[in-house]
Amino acid sequence: MGIETRVLQTPFDKAKDTLMNSGHNIISIAEDVELRIQEGKRSDTYIGMNYVREGMIFTPNRKPILVAYSPLLETPALAREAHERHKRFYVDSEAVEKAKEQGYVECQDIETYIPTNRFGEEAILVRAFGGFELDDEKASKQSQTYGDFLKDAGVDYITISAQGGGYMDNNSNGEYFAEQATFRPNLLSSCKFNGIYPIGYMNVKGINRKNGN
């Protein structure tokens, strides 16, 4: 199908540079879903967890948002350094608006469980699994296709974790911070600065659609 993927397990910023130099882009959630369906539920692709192109932005006094292109992609080395110091990666309002212009959708700021039979109805999954580039109808259909695939694999729901640890309620300085999104078959999450997956220590998957396919 003219699609080539490459997986690296090196610090996030170095992996991004290596992938870009070999003609790969960091894979989007929708592209990852497409490949997981193609390769089947018994493949390593289906099982694995990796960084994806999208990011989550935590905004004071508002719900977090999933953006099509993570702000961390602009300065990945600075983001990794912040996480290694157990600090959040803060972004300014200009970076937030730039990210939103490329596509975004609101998330719940609590851990959310969505059954597979509702993947075509939930806005967060329609955009994550259907892609930010497609219209609503096509994106909804693609998202539900993944829900049906998971159901057939014995998965009843997906967990979405976009929790800022009370940040939106307790932040009085009006600051924003961003986290890289991570994805595995039944979990869409942000990369917590002090959690299990600090940025830089998990698979980074790249994709190269040869001949524009």
Structure confidence by residue, pLDDT tens digits, 38-69 = 888 877 666 778 999 999 998 777 888 999 99
Is residue 202 domain-resident? yes
Question: What pLDDT was estimated at residue 157?
Answer: 92
Please state the rounded mean pLDDT for residues 9-20.
92
Is residue 145 domain-resident? yes
d(CA 78, CA 197): 17
d(CA 57, CA 65): 5
Structural domain of 113? 3-208
How many other C-beta atoms are found inside a 10 Å radius of the C-beta of residue 118?
14
Question: What pLDDT was estimated at residue 82?
Answer: 86
Question: What pLDDT was estimated at residue 211?
Answer: 61
d(CA 58, CA 167): 8
More confident residue, 161 or 125: 125
**Residue ranges of E strands in the chain:** 3-8, 25-26, 50-58, 65-67, 89-91, 104-106, 112-115, 157-161, 176-184, 187-190, 204-209
d(CA 168, CA 175): 9
> What pLDDT digit, counting tens, does each position of 172-181 carry?
466 888 989 9
More confident residue, 169 or 162: 162
> Structural domain tally of the chain?
1
Q: Is the predicted pLDDT of residue 171 greater than 80, yes or no?
A: no
pLDDT above 90 coverage of the chain, percent: 54
Half-sphere exposure of 114 (CA within 13 A, CB side): 28
- What average pLDDT does the chain have? 85
Is residue 77 domain-resident? yes
Q: Is the predicted pLDDT of residue 168 greater than 90, yes or no?
A: no
Tell me the pLDDT band of 167, cut-offs 50, 70 and 90: very low
Is residue 150 domain-resident? yes
Is residue 17 domain-resident? yes
More confident residue, 75 or 172: 75
Strand partners, 115: 157
Is residue 91 classed as helix, strand or coil in its secondary structure? strand
Is 0.85 surpassed by the pTM of this model? yes
Residue whose token pair is 């610090």: 11
Is the CB of residue 180 less than 8 Å from the CB of residue 75?
no
Is residue 213 domain-resident? no
d(CA 82, CA 210): 35
Is residue 139 domain-resident? yes
Question: What pLDDT was estimated at residue 142?
Answer: 96
> What pLDDT digit, counting tens, does each position of 190-205 carry?
755 433 345 556 889 9
